[in-house]
C-alpha cells in the first residue's frame, strides 16, 4: 500500500528545504515557476497537496530532463533522498526542529554555530521538539 500522505509530506519537506533552488531551476528552464506557486498556494489554503506536488514533480522531470524530478533535490539514493522519517534517529532524546505547521517531513538537527532555519513556505521558524 502506498502512503500518499507520507510521500506528500516528504516531497513538501524537499520543497521547503530547496525552495529557492527549485524556483531558480524552473525559471531558468521554463521562464516561470507556476507549478511551484500552485504547491505554495495549496499549502497556504490548507488543501490536499498530492496533486500539486505530483504536477511539480512532473514539471521538474520534464524541464530538467531528470527522471528524479523533485526527489532529486534531497541528496543521493532513490525516492525522496536524504530524508529520514521523523523520529527515526541515532540520536535518542535529542532536540530536533520540525515543520512549524506539521504538514511536511522536514527536520533539522541543531548545530552550535547555525541559527534555526525557517520554513520557506510560511516564513516561520521550524518548531523545536524532543525525540
Helix H, strand E, coil C: the string for 17-40 is HCHHHHHHHHHHHHCCCHHHHHHH
pLDDT at 4: 64
Sheet containing 95-98: order of strands: 107-108, 95-98, 127-130
Higher pLDDT, 19 or 69: 19
The predicted model scores a pTM of 0.62
List, for residues 13-61, the tens digit of each pLDDT value. Answer: 999 999 999 999 899 888 999 999 999 999 999 999 999 999 999 998 8
pLDDT at 129 over 80: yes
List, for residues 81-120, the tens digit of each pLDDT value. Answer: 344 444 444 444 567 889 998 889 988 888 767 788 889 8
pLDDT at 94: 66
Amino acid at each position: 500500500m502506498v502512503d500518499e500522505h507520507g510521500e506528500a509530506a516528504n516531497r513538501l519537506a524537499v520543497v521547503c528545504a530547496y525552495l529557492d533552488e527549485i524556483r531558480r531551476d524552473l525559471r531558468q528552464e521554463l521562464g516561470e515557476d507556476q507549478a511551484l506557486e500552485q504547491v505554495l498556494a495549496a499549502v497556504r489554503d490548507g488543501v490536499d497537496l498530492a496533486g500539486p506536488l505530483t504536477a511539480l514533480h512532473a514539471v521538474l522531470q520534464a524541464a530538467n530532463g531528470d527522471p528524479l524530478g523533485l526527489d532529486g533535490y534531497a541528496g543521493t539514493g532513490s525516492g525522496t533522498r536524504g530524508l529520514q522519517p521523523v523520529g527515526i534517529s541515532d540520536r535518542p532524546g535529542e532536540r530536533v526542529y520540525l515543520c512549524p505547521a506539521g504538514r511536511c517531513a522536514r527536520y533539522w538537527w541543531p548545530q552550535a554555530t547555525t541559527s534555526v532555519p525557517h520554513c520557506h513556505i510560511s516564513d516561520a521558524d521550524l518548531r523545536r521538539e524532543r525525540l
